Every structure is written in C-alpha cells, then in structure tokens.
C-alpha cells in the first residue's frame, strides 16, 4: 500500500472514531516505512481538523470531539516509539509550558499541541487542566520556557488567560516568554486585548508559530 493510502485511512479513522482501525493502520504504516511525523501531521491531524469542523457546524457534539481525541491519542501511542531523536535535540531542547486555565477541564486541543510540539523536538511541560495562574507563573519561573501555551474551551474561563499574562507581568517575566492562546471561543481580537503574542486558530498552525519563534531566536 502506498504511503498516501495509509494517511487517508488514518484521517478517515479519526473522523469515524475508529479506535481499532487507527491503531491497526498506524502500526501498518510504521512497518511500511511511513515517516512517524508524516503519519501524525498528514494523517491524523487532518482528521481531527474535520472532526473540529463537524463539531463547530453542530454535526458532531462534544462527546464525539472527546472520543476523536482519544482515538488520536491511541494512534500516537503506537507511533511514538518510531520517532527517533537526534543527539543534538536531546542535549538542547527548546521548552514549552502548556496549561488549560483555571476552571476549564478540557484538554483535547492542548494534548494535540503537546504531541505535535514533541514531534518538532520541543521539551513540553504539560501542567494539565484547571491550572491556576500562580502555578503557571511558577512553572515559567522554574522551566524558563520559550513558549507558554494557554487553552480554554469555555467563554467563562477565557478571562483567566488574561489573568495569567497580568501575573507574568507582576512577576517581571512577561517579556521572557512568548504566550500563545487557543481554544474554540478564543479569537484574534481577544488575544490582542489580553496582550498575548498569538492566537492559534488550530493546533497545527499554533505549532508552526512556535517553531517560527524558536527559529527566529536561533538566528538572532
């Protein structure tokens, strides 16, 4: 089977919420020599994008969105052992801290970003869901990441992103880290109002922005 076929089947498996199908195809794709990062970014991620569109249009509900995330997670677990890191990336990885803000218990998008950043060679510190501003600021102080990613899926928890940025300012470390925000209700305008550096419209675009930032840092 050609590599493109595996990617198409992986994509459809995510859309169809097919746990066993995705795990089986992921294993077959790896054994056939499909690049692990390609299987994730050109197979499963496009599938999640379709699931996201179906959720936004009302065709899929939150339950389907969550299940699709779990299906992708299991597929990635099959693929992860095949991802080889070169020695240089092991010795000096760029760090990213991720968190879903206080009051919010949704982590699907964050988890996809975490996986994709890992594939790109980042060292990811995932603080989890429902994380207070103080904990996030302490993590930034401790790990000194290049990027801080904040996620919210609820309109009522979005203001917590602004609180985190204000807390970073109060701690005198706002200019030490790039802040990227994302989640279904988050907009470019909101990101600008709270003083974030970027609003990610989807996981893939957010990871691309993080990679751009770090490459710009390396050049400067």
DSSP 14-37: HHTT-HHHHHHHHHHHHHTT--HH
Tell which of 82, 110, 140 closes a domain.
82
The residue among 82, 116, 151 that closes a domain is: 82
pTM of the model: 0.72
* Average pLDDT value for the chain: 89
More confident residue, 163 or 56: 163
According to the per-residue pLDDT averaged within each range, which of 34-43, 121-130, 209-218 is highest? Answer: 121-130
How far is the C-alpha of 165 from the C-alpha of 160, rounded, in Å? 9
Q: Determine the structural domain holding residue 190 and report its residue range.
A: 88-219
pLDDT tens string 21-68? 999 999 999 999 999 888 988 899 889 888 878 887 889 887 888 888
Pair type for strands 95-100 and 123-126 = parallel
> What are 70-95's pLDDT values in tens digits?
898 899 889 988 876 544 444 468 99
Residues 71 and 96 in one domain: no
Give the pair of three-digit tokens for residue 114.
């975490």
Contact 57, 11 (CB under 8 A): no
How many percent of the chain have pLDDT more than 90?
59
Q: What is the pLDDT of residue 91?
A: 46
Distance from C-alpha of 206 to C-alpha of 167, rounded to nearest angstrom:
23
Distances (CA, A) of 179 to 169, 188, 191: 12, 13, 10
Residue 220 has pLDDT above 50, yes or no: yes
User: Are 75 and 131 part of one and the same domain?
Assistant: no
**Per the structure, how many domains does the chain have?**
2
Single residue among 25, 50, 82 that ends a domain in this structure: 82
Same domain, 65 and 163: no
For residue 7 the two structure tokens come to 């990617």
Same domain as 154, residue 112: yes
Identify the pLDDT of residue 202. 82
Tokens representing residue 158 in the block = 């979005």
Whichever domain contains 46, its CATH number is 1.10.1240.10
Highest mean pLDDT: which of 30-34, 93-97, 135-139, 184-188? 135-139
């Amino acid at each position: 089977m050609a590599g493109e076929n595996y990617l198409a089947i992986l994509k459809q498996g995510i859309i169809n919420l097919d746990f066993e199908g995705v795990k089986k195809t992921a294993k077959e794709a790896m054994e056939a020599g499909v690049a692990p990062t390609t299987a994730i970014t050109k197979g499963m991620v496009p599938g999640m994008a379709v699931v996201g569109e179906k959720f936004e249009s009302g065709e899929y509900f939150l339950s389907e969105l969550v299940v699709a995330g779990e299906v992708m997670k299991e597929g990635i677990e099959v693929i992860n052992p095949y991802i080889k890191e070169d020695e240089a990336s092991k010795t000096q990885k760029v760090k990213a801290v991720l968190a879903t803000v206080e009051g919010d218990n949704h982590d699907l998008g964050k988890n996809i970003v975490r996986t994709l950043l890992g594939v790109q060679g980042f060292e990811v510190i995932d603080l989890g869901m429902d994380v207070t501003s103080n904990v996030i600021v302490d993590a930034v102080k401790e790990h000194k990441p290049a990027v801080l990613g904040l996620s919210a899926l609820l309109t009522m928890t979005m203001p917590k992103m602004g609180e985190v940025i204000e807390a970073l300012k109060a701690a005198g470390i706002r200019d030490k880290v790039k802040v990227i925000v994302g989640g279904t209700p988050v907009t470019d305008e909101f990101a600008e109002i709270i003083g974030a550096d970027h609003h990610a419209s989807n996981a893939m675009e957010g990871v691309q922005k993080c990679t751009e930032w770090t490459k710009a840092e390396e050049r400067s």
